[in-house]
Amino acid sequence: MSAAYFITGTDTDAGKTTVAAGLLHAARLKGRS
């Protein structure tokens, strides 16, 4: 079973892409795809 993540922010330029990239990077380091 896979997990789903929903990233939301209160405004543009709030850092959503940065947070998403960090989560993806951490997942890759743990061997997840």
* Per-residue pLDDT of the chain in tens (33 residues, 90 and over written 9): 788 989 999 999 999 999 999 999 999 999 987
Report how far residue 9's alpha carbon sits from residue 20's, in angstroms, rounded to the nearest whole number.
12
**What was the pLDDT predicted at 33?**
78
Q: Enter the pTM of the model.
A: 0.72
Report how far residue 22's alpha carbon sits from residue 12's, in angstroms, rounded to the nearest whole number.
18
**What was the pLDDT predicted at 13?**
92
Report how far residue 31's alpha carbon sits from residue 22's, in angstroms, rounded to the nearest whole number.
14
* 15 CB-side CA count, 13 A: 3
**Closest among 30, 6, 31 to 19, alpha carbons compared:** 6
